[in-house]
Structure 1
Amino acid sequence: MLSFKDTLPTCLGVIKRRENMKSALRFIKFKVSVEQYLEGLFLHVKVDGTECSDETTSTIKVEHPYFPLEDEKSQFSKICYRLHSTLILCFAYGQVSSEFANMVVAFGDMEAMTAASFVLLTNLVHLVKLYCFIFQRTKVQNLINSINREEFKPKNSDDCNILLKDINRSKRITKSFWLMCFMVCLLFAIFPLLDKSQSEGIRLPLGGWYPFNTNESPVFQIVYVYQILATYVNGIRNISIDTFISGVIMVISGQLSLLNNEFQTINAKQQDFGHNQVEIRKLLLRNVLHYKSIITFTDDVTTLFSTCLISQFVVSVVIICMTMFQLSLVPVLSLQFLSMAMYQACMLLEIFLWCYYGNEVILKSTNLTMSAYRCGWVEFSKEFKQDLLFFMTRTQFPLKLYAGGYFTLSLDTFMAILKSSWSYFAMLNTVHSKEIV
């Protein structure tokens, strides 16, 4: 008989062997096919799950010509991906270079420096994220493929409903995020055309230094279009990566929901097993293997995206501070104020999503102890009770995702970022007020 201790992750040893467990449940046959856009580099992820009487099968496929699979044979797909990646990097490096040079030119002018810094910092952290996705593309692909592991597959209609709910929520968040990005770029584009306060005429949408005169036609029009296009492309790429990372964190949260549901329904399933204590114990061991897979997947996500998370958290403190300072300098009823406010909302939303779903992982992993306790263990065998006790001991340590091994993805961290940003804004506003006087 397989010992429960052999199945516990990290603290109770390594699995010596794995039993081939086949569910005796009889489910209603149905097929569900859902398309989800986890927007990391426009990943087209199709989730296809099929439930039948004796087995459960599901697959997750990534289908997009700009993100070819490792076994992709089409040279056209590989060429398209390389061209797509090159174009993204050109836009990113080009905009960062002009903004950095503008920061150097404006050095000493607080208003000009803060106006240039918040977009510059956003694009700098965007380059860090691009590194993780483009130069670690194989690891990202392996992470996506690991979602197809046997333990993560839905086992009944309740599991599918839980996953479908998360998928639909992810799609709504992504679409809302994209709409906000489009509105910000649109307002950045039209504000200079409608701004009557500038005596020198129409100005460029964003600050930037270029080694040529941008006031002459058609150079001005070309740079104008370039800035808007580069801002939109970089914004979409940034949002794509952010929603992808929040999507994989949502996978962890969803799997913990499935595991909580499995423990809560063990007592109801014992009738299907005919009160067979051996089969019921196998069901417990299957749940333990599921928990071990969740821990492994969480470690992979933390290792792969730790650099993205820590860089975004640190830079967000400065970006939110600078954006609030710029909001304090412009009229409230102006298009510039509206565009800056929406930009601030995007900055807040991207870190809020990570912190919110990271907090959900903590809460749901903590609830595993109570879900296991409510499984109706009183009527089960002594071996089952001992195994359950070991599992409940392990779940006393909730799962957490870390940014750089220091910041925990939680709502407390989100509030700490806001408090720090407000403190720096208050200090910056005080210094600026003294300079004016």
Structure 2
Amino acid sequence: MSILGVWNPPKDESILRKLYRYFMLSLQHFFLLFQVIYMVGVMGDLEEVSQSSFLLFTQACLCFKVTVFQVRMGSFRELLAQMNSDVFVPQNKGHEEILKLQATRIKRLLLGFMISSQTTCSLFALRPLFDDANRNFPFKMWMPVKPEHSPQYELGFLFQLLTISMSAFMYFGVDSVCLSMVIFGCAQLEIIKEKLLSITSIAEKRANKPTEVNSILEENYRVLIECVVQHQAVIKFVKLLENTYHAQLFFQLSGSIGLICMTALRILVVDWKSVQFVSMVLYLSVMCSQLFVCCWSGHELTVISSELHTTLYQCCWYEQRAPFKRALLFAMMRMSRPLEFRAGRYVPLSRQTFVTILRMSYSYFAVLNQANSRNEVLDHQTSITNHH
């Protein structure tokens, strides 16, 4: 993201670096503008619209995400500051292992998404070399140059190839920032659970280390208060994260319905032996996997936070003093409400949301496919009537 010019710029950003950042962002917006111009020209042709709309939706989502990321850069810096605050610092190797485990899980998912997205971009670039008899650009979109002449064809081909590759990296980068922060919240909740379970019986603690009972009770109360403070910090962090990125997530969830629908519709009319068919199938799988990672991360946050009040009850609260039990009661009342990460402040990210989006996409796909089949039948009957 630093190479692409969309990462957190330094406070003393030079003019040259700022111009480079604006140039990289303008390339993506020009790419979107060329697609909009082409889409306006073919409006009414269902086949052409279905062939180009998936790329239009993807690029529009990317431009919106990057724009939101740049506009909300102040909130992003505040999120980084909260992640580095003292309340979230791991206190032992066990806490560090929890952070590493959660980081490894999200890294593997995002790495798979990045590799598959770049593979899809490569197949899109190879499509005109294998499927088209004439020289064509990788994507159907308006271009200021024509493919019939050189070096216009080479320049246009290079522009589309480099821009779509950068788009995939930006798409991956912006998503990785948001989703990794959600998983960071999950890791902090796991650390809270580990701290609560460390409140064992007094006899067990005295067996491991001879200590006065009063010191053990004071230490247990300190751990409980520390967990409550950390839980409040996680709530504040998740709330700020949702306020920062809820718009782009809602735009992505809404656009995914159209993306999946139009891509599946296109797959039906493409020759299964062509490179385009393989690229479209891979593109559909990439979009579904990216959508699943978003919903999975929100689901993990909700599930882990819902287990906290049960973990509170599992500690040896019955051996503690009255202040401990009173604080425990209030903590259980608050932690009984699980955290939810919402897109658009309304749609919770969960596995159920993922299934709902797939169902809606299939419903729209079935309607469009039926309408397209009916139009083909009518066109066929009209041609037979005209022939007779």
TM-score, scaled to structure 2: 0.90
Given that residues 88 and 234 in structure 1 are in contact (C-alpha distance below 8 angstroms), is that contact kept between their aligned partners in structure 2? no
Alignment of 1:28-427 (within 5 A): 41-42=1-2, 67-70=8-11, 73=12, 79-80=16-17, 82-195=18-131, 198-199=132-133, 201-267=134-200, 270-271=205-206, 274-275=212-213, 276=215, 277-427=217-367
Distance in structure 1 (CA, Å) of the matches to 2:298 and 2:21: 29
Distance in structure 2 (CA, Å) of the matches to 1:175 and 1:266: 38
Deviation string 1:24-54 (CA, Å, 9 cap, x unpaired) is xxxxxxxxxxxxxxxxx349xxxxxxxxxxx
Given that residues 249 and 354 in structure 1 are in contact (C-alpha distance below 8 angstroms), is that contact kept between their aligned partners in structure 2? no
Distance in structure 2 (CA, Å) of the matches to 1:202 and 1:106: 20
Task: Give the partner amino acid of 1:282.
Answer: R
Deviation string 1:42-84 (CA, Å, 9 cap, x unpaired) is 49xxxxxxxxxxxxxxxxxxxx9953344xx5x55x633x244
Distance in structure 1 (CA, Å) of the matches to 2:325 and 2:83: 31
| Mean CA deviation greater in 185-194 or 329-338 | 329-338
What is the number of residues matched between the two proteins? Answer: 369
Query: How has the CA–CA distance of structure 1 residues 69 and 371 changed in structure 2, closer, same or farther, with 3 Å as cutoff?
Result: farther
What stretches of structure 2 of length at least 5 have no aligned partner? 378-388
More strand by proportion, 1 or 2? 1
Secondary structure of 1:206's counterpart equals coil
Query: How has the CA–CA distance of structure 1 residues 240 and 268 changed in structure 2, closer, same or farther, with 3 Å as cutoff?
Result: farther
Distance in structure 1 (CA, Å) of the matches to 2:20 and 2:328: 51
More helix by proportion, 1 or 2? 2
Task: Give the partner amino acid of 1:179.
Answer: I
Deviation string 1:80-124 (CA, Å, 9 cap, x unpaired) is 3x2442232222111111111111111111010111111101111
Query: How has the CA–CA distance of structure 1 residues 87 and 65 changed in structure 2, closer, same or farther, with 3 Å as cutoff?
Result: closer
The offset of 1:217, in angstroms, is 2.0
Compute the RMSD of aligned alpha carbons: 1.9
Distance in structure 2 (CA, Å) of the matches to 1:115 and 1:108: 13
The offset of 1:382, in angstroms, is 2.1
Task: Give the partner amino acid of 2:127.
Answer: F
Task: Give the partner amino acid of 2:16.
Answer: I
Distance in structure 1 (CA, Å) of the matches to 2:64 and 2:267: 27
Distance in structure 1 (CA, Å) of the matches to 2:127 and 2:201: 62
Distance in structure 1 (CA, Å) of the matches to 2:201 and 2:364: 55
Deviation string 1:339-381 (CA, Å, 9 cap, x unpaired) is 1112112211222112101101111111001110101112111
What stretches of structure 1 of length at least 5 have no aligned partner? 1-40, 44-63
Partner of 1:51: none
Distance in structure 1 (CA, Å) of the matches to 2:201 and 2:50: 61
Partner of 1:436: 376
The offset of 1:304, in angstroms, is 0.3
Distance in structure 2 (CA, Å) of the matches to 1:323 and 1:90: 27
Partner of 1:6: none
Given that residues 85 and 134 in structure 1 are in contact (C-alpha distance below 8 angstroms), is that contact kept between their aligned partners in structure 2? no
Task: Give the partner amino acid of 1:381.
Answer: R
Distance in structure 2 (CA, Å) of the matches to 1:225 and 1:245: 31
Distance in structure 2 (CA, Å) of the matches to 1:274 and 1:151: 28
Query: How has the CA–CA distance of structure 1 residues 83 and 317 changed in structure 2, closer, same or farther, with 3 Å as cutoff?
Result: same
Distance in structure 2 (CA, Å) of the matches to 1:367 and 1:142: 28
Distance in structure 2 (CA, Å) of the matches to 1:140 and 1:158: 28
Distance in structure 1 (CA, Å) of the matches to 2:260 and 2:201: 50
Distance in structure 2 (CA, Å) of the matches to 1:136 and 1:268: 47
Partner of 2:386: none
Distance in structure 1 (CA, Å) of the matches to 2:277 and 2:201: 57
Distance in structure 1 (CA, Å) of the matches to 2:190 and 2:177: 20
The offset of 1:314, in angstroms, is 0.6
Secondary structure of 1:328's counterpart equals helix
The offset of 1:125, in angstroms, is 1.3
Given that residues 184 and 342 in structure 1 are in contact (C-alpha distance below 8 angstroms), is that contact kept between their aligned partners in structure 2? yes
The offset of 1:160, in angstroms, is 0.6
Given that residues 301 and 339 in structure 2 are in contact (C-alpha distance below 8 angstroms), is that contact kept between their aligned partners in structure 1? yes
Question: Percent same amino acid among aligned pairs?
Answer: 27
Distance in structure 2 (CA, Å) of the matches to 1:206 and 1:65: 25
The offset of 1:407, in angstroms, is 0.4
Distance in structure 2 (CA, Å) of the matches to 1:379 and 1:387: 14
| Mean CA deviation greater in 366-375 or 341-350 | 341-350
Distance in structure 2 (CA, Å) of the matches to 1:379 and 1:350: 48
Distance in structure 1 (CA, Å) of the matches to 2:149 and 2:6: 40
Partner of 1:52: none
